[in-house]
């Protein structure tokens, strides 16, 4: 299995990302990667050094693409904050690649598999989690500034609640739990923000 002439390293990283996402780090062998990327083991090592290095690049690729998508979906500039949050959380559990189910989130999967044993991975997953927290914080702050969220809402606490809900949803999605139940949890999490100031008046 010779290295293709038109080898594209970015495409290879994207393909490796899909494989690691679906199978996890430990369950993905060098041979699996070679078959997926159409590389011999020697070519794979020559290009990416080792499996761990390729995994880090795959994780970075996922973070870059997913973070951009999440920021866009959490943009509350022209929609009510509750609608944005509800749609974003539903998207997280209904948009697996290729129409398949049960993949969850690559970052969450990685954190649960390697986050306590691999410091390099832990730093990356924590950075990704912080991006999500900051996006939630910005959305809630914008909603409060527009009068959609009560001034009494503790935004930092609300961020932690929504963030924890999101992690749980993604684990449950990977486990194949019923979407209706996940949607019910999403709706309850959004309602936990309380009524809008106009509703409470």
pLDDT, one tens digit per residue, over 53-62 is: 999 999 999 9
69-127 per-position pLDDT tens digit: 877 888 888 899 999 999 999 988 875 544 455 678 899 999 999 988 999 999 999 99
H/E stretch holding 187 reads helix 179-191
* Domain definitions of the chain by residue range: 59-195
The larger pLDDT score, comparing residue 92 to residue 156, is at 156
In this structure, what is the dihedral angle of CA atoms 30, 33, 38, 39, given to the nearest 10 degrees?
-40
Instruction: Determine the 3-state secondary structure of 47 from DSSP.
Output: helix
**How far, in Å, CA of 165 to CA of 178, rounded?**
16
SS3 18: helix
Instruction: Give the pTM.
Output: 0.86
Closest CA to 59 of 11, 107, 114: 107
Architecture category of domain 59-195 in CATH: Orthogonal Bundle (1.10)
Q: Cα separation of 29 and 51, whole Å?
A: 8
> Tokens 């999500």 correspond to what residue?
132
152: Cβ contacts below 8 Å, ≥ 6 apart: 194
Are 47 and 39 in contact by the 8 Å Cβ rule? The answer is: yes
């Amino acid at each position: 299995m010779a290295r293709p002439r038109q080898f594209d390293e970015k495409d290879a990283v994207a393909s490796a990302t899909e494989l690691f996402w679906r199978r996890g780090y430990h369950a993905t062998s060098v041979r699996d990667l070679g078959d997926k990327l159409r590389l011999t083991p020697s070519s794979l090592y020559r290009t990416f050094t080792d499996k761990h290095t390729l995994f880090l690049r795959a994780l970075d690729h996922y973070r870059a693409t997913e973070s951009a998508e999440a920021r866009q979906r959490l943009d509350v500039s022209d929609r009510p904050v509750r609608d944005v949050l509800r749609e974003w959380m539903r998207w997280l559990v209904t948009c697996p690649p290729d129409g398949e189910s049960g993949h969850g989130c690559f970052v969450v999967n990685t954190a649960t598999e390697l986050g306590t044993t691999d410091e390099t991975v832990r730093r990356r997953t924590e950075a990704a989690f912080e991006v999500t927290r900051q996006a939630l914080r910005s959305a809630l702050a914008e909603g409060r500034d527009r009068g959609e969220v009560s001034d009494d809402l503790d935004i930092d606490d609300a961020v932690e609640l929504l963030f924890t809900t999101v992690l749980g949803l993604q684990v449950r999605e990977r486990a194949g739990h019923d979407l209706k139940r996940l949607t019910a949890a999403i709706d309850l999490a959004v309602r936990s923000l309380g009524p809008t100031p106009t509703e409470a008046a």
